[in-house]
Structures are given as C-alpha cells and as structure tokens.
Amino acid sequence: MKPASFKYVAAASVDHALSLKAEHGDDAKFLAGGQSLMPAMNFRLAQPAVLIDINEIADLTGIRRSAAATRVGPVTRYRALQRDAAFARDFALIGEALPHIAHPQIRNRGTIGGNLAHADPASELPAIALALGARFHARTATQERWIEASDFFVGALTTDLQPDEMLVDIELLLPKPRTGCCFMEIARRRGDFAIVGVAAMMTLGERDECTDVRLAFCGVGETPIDASSAAEVLVGGTPTEAAIRDVAASMQGMIDPGGSVHATADYQRHIAGVLTERALRTAHQRVRDGR
Amino acid sequence: MDGDFHDITLSVNGKQYRRRVESRLLLSDFIRHDLALAGTHVGCEHGVCGACTVLLDGQPIRSCLMLAVQARNHEISTVEGLTDKDGEYHPLQQAMHDHHGLQCGYCTPGILMTMTAFLDENPSPTEDDVREALSGNLCRCTGYQNIVDAVMTAAMRTRSR
Amino acid sequence: MSTRTFGEPVKRNEDRRLLTGQALFIDDIELPGMLHVAFLRSQVAHAKIVSIDVSSALKRSGVVAAFVAGDLGDYWQQGPLLVPPPPIAGIVFHQRTQVPLAKDKVRHVGEPLVIVIAESRYIAEDALDDIDVELEPLPAVVDLEKGLAHGSALVHDDVGSNVSAHVRQTKGNYAAAAAKADQIIKRRFLYEHGISSPIETRGVVAQWDKRANQMTIWDTTQAPVFVRNGLAGMLGLNERQVRVIAPFVGGGFGPKIMMFYPEEVLLPWVSMKLNRPVKWIEDRLEHFFATTHERGQIHDAEIALTRDGRILGIKDVFLHDGGAYDPYGLTVPINSQCTLLGPYVVPNYDSTFTQVFTNLPTVTPYRGAGRQHGVFVMERLLDFAARELKIDPAEIRRKNLIPPEAFPYKNEIIYQDFQPLEYDSGNYEPVLDMALEAIGYKAFREEQVAARLQGRHIGIGLACYVEGTGIGPYEGAKVQVQSNGKVSVATGIGTQGQGHFTVFAQIAADQLGVAVGDVDVVTGDTDQFYWGAGTFASRGAVVAGNAVNEASKVVRKKALKLASDLFECAEEDLVIEDGKVSIVGVPGKFVKLGDLARQANPMRGAVQPGTEPGLESTQYFGPKMGATANGVHAMIIEMDPRTFDLKILKYVVVHDCGTVINPMILAGQIHGGVAQGIGNAFYEKLVFDDQGQLLNASLADYLLPTALEVPRMELGHTVTTSPLNPMGIKGAGEAGAIPGGPLFAQAIEDALDLKGRGVELLEIPLSPSRLFELTRNAQR
C-alpha cells in the first residue's frame, strides 16, 4: 500500500509552515509524527497534494512550565512526555494514559499535537484535554486565536482548525491542589484504540468534601464527551459508593456510543458506567492517599 | 505527472549514503531496495506489525510510517548493523539462537531492533516489562515465550559481563 | 543407528541467516529490468462485469501494460481441482474453481479484475485509479442458511443452487443408539476460524529467460513441486524448463499451499509476454481478500449417552462456508467431520454436511484445517452432558477414551487422505492425567471458592483432541556426501519456519556420523529435488523426515561397503562417527567420508557394471495412512465480571506426537499453535456485512494476539510411537491451534458461573462485548 504522489516541503519555521498552508489550504496537510497520517496515506484514504513536514521546527517542541499552566509544543513526542517526570506528575491523567497509546515505537514518533489535531473519537488525549480544560493556540500566517478544548473537537476526525490554521501550542492548566486523577480505558489489546476511556478528576476541600469533579470520555461519541455535569451531584458532599454509582447511571444517559466491529453500543455504554465508577473511586482514593 | 525528488544524505549503520529519493518513497522501501539492506522486513505498511522497526537516532520507530526524505541527516540502525565488525552476534541475537526465539524469522529483525534498544535503556527488566516492550511486534510463529526468555537471558548475560 | 542428536534440542542451522537479516525472502529478490505488478480488485462481493477500460492507465508514465481476462486468450482457464472429493457413497460435489482474472462476474471482494505492470509498485497503484470499471452489483450470498434457501442469489448460476458439496458419512446406527439412550444433548453451535495472517504476505517473482528457454519462479508456496508441474502445463513448457523456488517464507500455516492463485498463474505469463522479470508482493490489505481464509460452520449436533456418561452415538448436521470457489475439495469439512470423533469411543455416528458457496474469499485449510470446528462440537457436547448427568467434565472424558489396547482403532468413515479413518496408536489416559496434574485440577475447586471470597472470578477449562497427521501421498529426499565431507540433503517440500534445515540435518547427521552443522539442507527448490507434495497437514517431519532417513541409511550402507572394500574387513567391524569411517578399536585406521565420496566418483578407470557413482541416494517414503497424534489442553483464567476482560493465568499442553526429533522445535510449534488458538477463540474475528464487505481489513482491527495476550505455556509430552514409519514419529504442526475454542468456552462459563445463570456458550470467537450481550438478560 503505497501513498499517492505529493509535493513535500520541510518547513524551516512556523511562519514558513503557515505561509505554505495559506497557499494550499485543504490541499496541504501538516506532517508531524506521521503515526496517524502515514497509515491513512499508505491506505490512500488521505491523498494531500502537499505535505508540510513540521518535525524540524524547534519552536514547536518542548514543555514550558509556569506557575499556573504548562505549555506543550504540538510536535512534542509522547516519549518526551513520558520521560519528563515533572510533567507526568503534574498531569497524572496524561501520564496514566500514555502507556495505552499504541506501542513504544509509535510513541517515539507520535506527537501530542498530531493526536489532538487528528481528533480520533477513540483517542485518549482529546478526552483528557477536555477534563483538564486545555486551551489550544492556533495561528494562521496573519492571525492567531486561542480555542477552548470544549470548542476544539467538533466531529469525528474534525477539529475547529480552519484550512489555513495550525495548532502551535497547547496550554494545560495544572489541576488544583488536592485533586486526585484517574485515567482508565478498556481496549481489546493494550495499545489498541479505546473501546471506552474515561478521565476523572476529583478535588476535595478542607473537610474532605468534594469541591469539583471532572469527567470526560473517549470512544463514546463522534467527539470526546465532557460528562462532568453528570458528576455535579457529588459536589458539596462526601462521595459515597452509592453516589458514585448514581453518577455512573446518569452519565450513561448522556452518551450515544456508535458501536464498532469490536463492541456493541450497549457494551460501550455499560463499560462507560463501570469505568466511571472505578475511575471516580480511584481518583477519590488517590487524593485521600495524597497522590 | 513527474515525481517530487529530493537529495538526501544520511547515515545507516554508521555508513554515509547520498541518494535522490522521490518524496513519497517510504523509509522501509528505501532501506530495503535503494540501499539493498533487505534485513528489515515489511509486514503491513500501517504501523501495526512492527516487522519494519529500525532505530532512528537510537530509538525504535516504524520505518513504514516514515518517508525516506525525512531521514535526511539522521542516523538509522538496522539489523545488519547488530553484529560487531568480526561478525559476532549481539547478545540478544545469541540469546535468540539459544532459546529458539525465531521460527520463520520474518518478524525477527523488527524484534531485534526493538528489544536491543529496550535493553539498552532497561538492563534489568522483569518478564512483564519485556512482554510490554514486545507487545508492539507481532509474531505469528513463536507464541512469544522463547523470545521473552531470550530477552531475559540477554539482559542477564549483559549485566554479568 | 546412533542417536546422538535425535531427540536432542539441537539449535537451528538456519538461525544465523535469519538473525542477521541475510535470509532471502521473496521481496528481497531484485532482478535487472524487473517490473512491478498491482491488481485492480473488485470492491463488491457479487456483480456482473459490464465493462473495464484500461486505456487511461496505459497512458500513465511508467506503466508498461495492463491486462484483463480477455487478453489471456486460451491461457484463461479455471484452475485445477487440487483435491478431488473422497470416495464416499452418495457424495454431491460441484467443482467450481478460481480463474486468473474475473470474466463476466466477480464473486468476492478482492477478486482480481485487471493486472497492471509498471516500473514500480507505487506507479502500478497509481494506475489502478485510472482504470474505469463498470460493475452491476448483485445481492451477495453471505449467510449460509439464506444462501441455501429458495430464491437466494446464486454464486455460480449454472450450479442451480449454492451447494458446493453434500456429504453424509455414517458408522453404526445412530437412530437405534439414540432410542436406547438415557440422555440426549442437542445444541446448535457456531464456530468460526479466522485467517492465517502470517507476518509475511504472499508474493511471486517470475523471470522468463527467452535465450535460456527457462522460466524461474520464486513463490511463497508451501508446495513448489506441484506449482511447477501445473504452471509448466499451463504455459506449454516442459517441467524441466520451469524452476520453482520457495525461498525463506515468513510463515505459511496452510493458505500458502493453496494453488493456483491468480497471481501465480499470471506472473509467469506476463513475464513471457513482456520478456521481462516481474514481481508481485501482496500487501497487507490485499492479504485479507486475495489469500484464502478458513471461516465458519453451523452445527446442529446431538449426543446420546447412557446415564453414567458413556457415549452411545453422535449425530451432526452442519453447514460449511466454502467461499466463492472450491479448488480444495472437501478437505476442511471432512476434517471437521472426522476429527469430531476425537479420542473417544463413538460406536455410532451420523454426520452430514453441506459445503455452501458464498460471495466471500475461498476457504482452504488454515492450521487445524477444520479440526477446530469438530473438536468444539464434541467437547461442548461432553461438557453439557457432564452437567446434565452430574459427572465431572474430566471424568466424562476419561470414561469415553479409546483404551490403549484398542489400537489400531478403526473409525471407519473416510478421512482427508481418502482412507478409512484409523488411529494407528495412542495411549490417551496418561495424557489426560498429566494435564490434570499440571493444571492442578483437584485443588482448583477450593482455589476457586477462595478466590470468589476475594471477589475474583477464576475458571478452568479442559479439552481433548486427536490430530490426524503425516498423511501421504509421499515425499522424497536426496542425501549426498560431498567430497569436502559435508552432507547435502534436498527434499521437495518447502519450509516456513518449522526448522527443517535442522530437523532433517539431525536425521542425516545421526545416520552418517557427522555434525548437524555439517549437513546442508535444501528445501523448496524444484531444480534441487524434483518430486513431492508439499508442507501441509502436519506431515513435513513425518513424511519428508522419513524419506531423509531412508536415503541416509542407504548412503550409510554405501559408505560402509566402500570402506570395508578399502580396509578389506567386514562391515560389522566398522564404525562411522565424526565424519570418519574407522575400524572398531583401531581409531588410527580411518577414512574420511569426504574421501570416500571422492573415491566413489573416479575420474578414470573402470567400475563394476550397475555401480552408482558417489555417496548419494534418493529415497521416497509414503505412509499407508496418517498417524494420529493427540493432546489435552487445560487452562485457568480470571475474568472481570463487569467488563468481561479475560486474563489467562495458566496454560498447559500435554501432547503425544510419537518419537520426537527435536524437542525444542516441537515446543516452538506448540507455542505458536496455542497463540493462534487463543487468537481464534477470543481475539480474531472476520466481520463481514451483509453485502460481503469485510469491515475490519487491517491489523489494527483484525486482532492478532501479542506478547501480552499469549501467556507462558507449560508443556508436557508422552510418547506412543507410530507403527506407520520407521522413526515412529507423528506430526505436530497444528496441535497447539486445535482446542482453544472449547477451552475458552468452558473456562469462561466456569469463571462467570454461567451455568447457574442459564447461559451456555455455543459459539467461537468470543469477546468481552459478545459475552456482555450473551449474559445481559440472564439471571444474576
């Protein structure tokens, strides 16, 4: 399965990449890690006329920490995220999800920005971005804007990025103090696309009452689903087993999984409920354990 | 339509090459056919089976998911570079032989590249660590058990050297 | 015969080339002027071909030619029938074999329409988009029962139905037995096997040399001799003008013995037409359609028993999905039919099957070759009987095992080698006992209770099976001592990882007193060995191995005779070892084997009339029937009762394949087979829609087990030698793959206490989602 012909340009800078994208629009695609784009091209499901390689642009990689937020360059490889101890500690959700993303060989090349811009409905990082309330910096040759995660993922394999835009930075807000996080997924084999994945965060106050809950899913809709509202009922009280089970049940009503060759929609809905219970329980336990 | 061609220079197994490649030429095809290093094998061309795994600047990657032109100025390592200059086996090659870790041998080069890099970073793995590291390489012949044993043996032998 | 290496875990001769990336696989072949091939394949499962226009493709720069069926003239023919129907009374068989390029009609997704030849595979694939194909889709036959119903679309219109074959075999009188039974268990079972999916796909390289008048074909085939014979005939060449070489092949597992694939038939023709070498390498996407499958059967089966669990008889009526064509005859369903009987005494048997044409890729044997389906039915019937009769599942099996004094055991019905099914030897109870001991069967129930108290759901499974192996017709081998003292062995079968380069070397080395590393084995090259059938049906070591043994014995005899003449002593006073023939007790008086070989090929002088030169011999071995191996698998799993995720905690195989040549290579075969059995039972499923489209045609969605899904396996073995060959060996290639299905079904039922919830597992493959669906309405 060989790709169709295209013109290849190794962009030297962000401006260079953006001017090329402005020129070619949808006929051009950015090549980051290539771990999603190249299979599509080898199957000839994607046939861009122009491929803009952004791997050599130093400005697009790296992790920059500040007091309230961390900014990650989109071409930062999964491997780099896994090996950055501070990052894995600050963003435990991502640290916990990374071993589920494919295999080491893929993680040595694949990038966080590539993953987010590809917006596969079963992909873990978009759901985590929703849970964390991430923001994405998009630029064109002449303009720029910040996009909230909740506005970024608009459909299966579709983001709000316009034909002349590129994702140039990703901002992740640090979870508040006393927040326990848990990412879980069910897949047929480790590294396969999630049948259902859940990112859960629970914040406790001084009296160990729940002050905030975030809940987001992958695999159960065309886009990642923010189901935090289903967990709002936990806020203000001490999360009990029964309360967590109720959250799981009401969350199941908020999702509309499509099923796949690997799982029926009902199984996905069922699993989403099971994972909700387990992830919330674990997040709660972790914050109590001080993790 | 004429192809889009690029001149590249790269290093493979320590040797410099200079070639002209079409932009769409996959790195796997380049290594196998342009450089005649046919030890790297192709199994799926969509990044799942791992047979095409080579090292890019020391790290295992799927050569079927990379374009040859992207390898410009990088260092590629393939299975042909594993034996030392006297033709002596790398410890993992020896261990694979000792443990019958290969049958048809088609997935073997990809596994060797993946697991030699893994052992360089993980000199004392557990069996679970090994299986996890190996899970990105499909084998249809061996059921993996002897490969796992070979990796554990290679690790032990390397530690005791 | 010295047994220095026979039975030893000798390390493999072939490893160095494979470990260093120096072994020649088909895509490694580069020939000057070589062109590359791609096929335009049908995207629909069933359609009339209205028109095909390749003119735009021919205009593309780098495209050399493009051919459709009409361009082949008389060369276009239906492929030969490889395996005729066995001599069974009343058999119905409609032969409809595959064609090189579809003409008039396409019958499955992936059937080739056009062959394109270009300067590179990249350009050839570009050209596929240039081709204009007009197809008139027809309803696709996918469901077996609907395919047999009145009014169904027909895969082959001239057959008048979708019946490819109908066979009934009986033994004794089931109806009479059932009438006397205390218990009858009747169920419908669905068993689907998957695809072989070796890591190396198929490939063909053809080189017609007009000046040498010679055709060389490299082919990832398991049967180079038959490919040579067939293609020579088709091409109008003498067999001697055609050389077929199976290089190193990256996994076979059965579908690489199917012949004559369209690509095998077309590449040589194209090479002759264009007078250039041509190469076709199947890509992974093509492999899902262009290489044969094994798929599913629907069984309506019943078992009649006495109240103490003795089998009185079995009746089974099943449908077998044969795919669009039936070149392989009835091998797969006959294997199902015969292997169902297993290691048990089944005095009465009535088995009927209908092989159905469908608009899906052709079905031919894949490791297990239909045995899985039969074993699933029998083992499940026994499990349900055990439940009803309140007998332990291991005990109901033990009770029915064929006793050791009953061999050779005649099962009467006709097997895939056209002989009445007869088990040559076996001792089944010790195998069962070893497996029960190894899995910890007695202690398990307590462990299960203790685990439950901790909220863990563990379960156990047990399955027994026999495997018919080592069938004829024959194989041959040429063994030759060369003047440098090394031994060369050539045989006609091919090798796809089974260790032939070592196993055959061990056999020759032991007879000729040389080191295993000094024996060079050639397989799969028709110029090096002319005759043979191929590597399939777990027969390589048995049949070719015995041929190597016979030829080695003759060479040994020749060497001793020559040396005895040389030393003027009796042959009994001589010993061969370390590559030398010497007089017993006088090690200083020796002659090297290589020198003997040289002396046996004098440049001048006279020889006795009738003398054959050299130290070589060609011998053939054909067993009068297949030898029966057997085994028991046992497994403990843990299940997550909410997600239905499954983890294998322990997996045991106890196996009897007679005398073992190389236990290390044997273990490797079992490991690999078990991995495929696990894949078949719980991970691999071909998902077709009702229009015959395969929805999961990629390795991302057709799930092969990885190192995280295949556990550590514990192996044990017993030996009952086969009386059918001088080495006493039986085949082992398929054993690991056979009983995975019933093993998983049982263990899952046990772990989740499905019996208590009124749920039975009657189908394979299973998955967490499927288990959820099957249990959701059950009592908790």
| A141-177 pLDDT, tens digit each | 999 999 999 999 999 999 999 999 999 999 999 999 9
Angle of CA points A70, A76, A78, to nearest 5°:
100
Q: Pull the structure tokens for residue C561.
A: 């005779």
Q: Is B45 close to A103, i.e. CB distance below 8 A?
A: no
Tell me the ipTM for this assembly: 0.98
pTM: 0.97
Q: What is the pLDDT of residue B3?
A: 86
In Å, how far are A208, C191, C322 from C371, measured between CA atoms? 61, 11, 15
| Predicted confidence (pLDDT) at residue C48 exceeds the cutoff of 80 | yes
Q: Mean pLDDT in chain B?
A: 97
Whether C564 contacts chain A with CB within 8 A:
no
| DSSP-derived 3-state class of residue C134 | strand
Q: Is A47 on the interface with B (CB under 8 A)?
A: no
Tell me if chain B has a CB within 8 Å of the CB of A45.
no
Query: Could you give the CA distance from residue A6 to residue C439 in angstroms, rounded to a whole number?
Result: 58
* Cβ neighbours of C496 in B, within 8 Å: 104
> Mutate which of C122, C643, C683, C687 to test chain A, going by most A C-beta atoms within 10 A?
C643
B145 in contact with chain C, both atoms CB, cutoff 8 A: yes
Predicted pLDDT of residue B1: 47
Strand-strand pairing, C713-718 and C646-656:
parallel
H/E stretch holding C11: none
User: To the nearest whole angstrom, how far is the Cα of C284 from the nearest Cα of chain A?
Assistant: 8
What is the percent of chain B with per-residue pLDDT over 90, rounded to a whole number? 97
Tokens coding C616: 């070589």
For residue C201, the chain B residues in CB contact (below 8 A) are: 43
Question: Nearest chain B Cα to A38, which residue?
Answer: B65
Asked whether the predicted pLDDT for residue C3 surpasses 60, the reply is no
Residue B33 touches chain C, beta carbons under 8 Å: yes
For residue C314, which amino acid is it? I
Contact B95, B153 (CB under 8 A): yes
Tell me the residues of chain B between 86 and 145 that have a Cβ less than 8 Å away from chain A.
Answer: 114, 118, 132-133, 135-136
- Sequence-distant (≥ 6) Cβ neighbours of residue C731 within 8 angstroms: C467, C469, C470, C537, C538, C539, C540, C541, C542, C627, C629, C657
Average pLDDT over residues B58-68: 98
* Cβ–Cβ under 8 Å, residues C97 and C79: yes
**Which tokens in the block code for residue C103?**
């003409």
pLDDT in tens, C703-748: 999 999 999 999 999 999 999 999 999 998 888 999 999 999 999 9
The percent of residues in chain C predicted with pLDDT above 70, rounded, is 99
**pLDDT mean across residues, chain A:** 96
> How many helices and strands in chain C, by DSSP H and E?
19, 30
Token digits for C244?
A: 């077929």
> Is the pLDDT at C432 greater than 60, yes or no?
yes
Residue C282: is its pLDDT beyond 90?
A: yes
CB contact under 8 A, C769 and A264: yes
Q: Is the pLDDT of residue C608 over 80?
A: no
Q: Is C695 on the interface with A (CB under 8 A)?
A: yes
- Name the pLDDT band for C779 (thresholds 50, 70, 90): low
For chain B, say whether C20 makes contact (Cβ under 8 Å).
yes
- With contacts defined as CB-CB under 8 Å, which chain C residues touch A267? 768-769, 772-773
Whole-number pLDDT of residue A34 = 98
The answer to whether residue C1 scores a pLDDT higher than 70 is no
Whether B65 and chain A come into contact, CB under 8 Å, resolves to yes
Query: In this complex, do C668 and B78 lie within 8 Å of one another by their Cβ atoms?
Result: no
In this prediction, residue C601 carries a pLDDT of 81
Task: Name every chain B residue with its beta carbon within 8 A of the beta carbon of A51.
Answer: 23
Is pLDDT of C2 > 70?
no
Q: Chain C contacts of B105, Cβ < 8 Å?
A: 14-15, 17-19, 23, 248, 250, 497
Nearest to B135 among A3, A10, A103 (CB): A103
Q: Using pLDDT thresholds of 50, 70 and 90, give the confidence band for residue C185.
A: very high
Q: What is the pLDDT of residues C149-163, one digit of tens each?
A: 999 999 999 999 999
pLDDT digits (tens, 9 = 90+) for C383-430: 999 999 999 999 999 999 999 999 999 999 998 888 899 999 999 999
pLDDT, mean over chain C:
95
Residue in chain C lying closest to A193 (CA): C700
| Interface with B, mutate which of A44, A77, A78, A103 (most B CBs under 10 A) | A103
Instruction: Give the separation between CA C527 and CA C751, rounded to whole angstroms.
Output: 56
Out of A1, A5, A261, name the one closest to residue C283 (CB). A1
CATH code: domain B5-81 is: 3.10.20.30
Per-residue pLDDT at C474 exceeds 90:
no
- Torsion angle in degrees (nearest 10) through CA of C547, C549, C553, C554: 20
**pLDDT tens track for C648-686:** 999 999 999 999 999 999 999 999 999 999 999 999 999
Cis, peptide link before residue C536, omega less than 30° from 0: no
- In this predicted structure, the answer to whether residue C293 has a pLDDT above a threshold of 80 is yes
Q: Is C123 on the interface with B (CB under 8 A)?
A: no
C283, C284, C708 member nearest A190 (Cβ): C708
Report the chain B residue with the minimal C-alpha distance to residue A11.
Answer: B70
In 3D space, the residue among A257, A60, A79, A228 whose CA is nearest the CA of residue A149 turns out to be A228
Segments in chain B forming alpha helices (H): 27-29, 91-98, 108-121, 127-134, 145-159
Distance (Å, rounded) from C-alpha A256 to C-alpha B109? 44
What whole-number distance in Å separates Cα of residue C387 and Cα of residue C384? Answer: 5
- Interface contact C649, partner B, CB < 8 A: no
Write out pLDDT tens, residues C536-560.
888 888 899 999 999 999 999 999 9
- Between the CA of residue A238 and those of A120, A201, A214, what are the distances in Å? 35, 15, 16
Residue B85: both structure tokens together: 């200059």
Cross-chain residue pair A190–B59, CB shorter than 8 Å = no
**Contacts with C284 from chain A: Cβ below 8 Å:** 1
Chains touching chain A, criterion 3+ CB pairs below 8 Å: B, C
Residue C247 CA from chain centroid, whole number? 18
- Would strands C132-137 and C47-53 be described as parallel, antiparallel, or unpaired? antiparallel
Report, in angstroms and rounded to the nearest whole number, the Rg of chain B calculated over CA atoms: 16
C41 touches chain A (CB under 8 A): no
What CATH architecture applies to the domain B91-159? Orthogonal Bundle (1.10)
| Contacts with B128 from chain A: Cβ below 8 Å | none
The answer to whether A32 and A111 have CB atoms below 8 angstroms apart is yes
Q: Among the ranges A96-110, C576-590, C594-608, which has the highest mean pLDDT value?
A: A96-110
3-state secondary structure of C408: coil
Token output for A188: 């047929």
HSE (CB half, 13 Å, CA atoms) of C416? Answer: 32
Q: Are strands C311-323 and C349-357 parallel, antiparallel or unpaired?
A: parallel
Which residue from C505, C413, C407 is spatially nearest to C721, judged by alpha carbons?
C407
Please give the domain boundaries of chain A with CATH numbers for all domains. 7-53 (3.30.43.10), 58-172 (3.30.465.10), 179-288 (3.30.390.50)
List chains touching C (3+ CB pairs under 8 A). Answer: A, B
Q: Which of A189, A195, A263 sits opposite C709 (nearest CB)?
A: A189
Q: Which pLDDT band, with edges at 50, 70 and 90, does C778 fall under?
A: confident
Q: Are B105 and C497 in contact (CB under 8 A)?
A: yes
Task: Locate the domains of chain B by residue range.
Answer: 5-81, 91-159
pLDDT digits (tens, 9 = 90+) for C627-636: 999 999 999 9
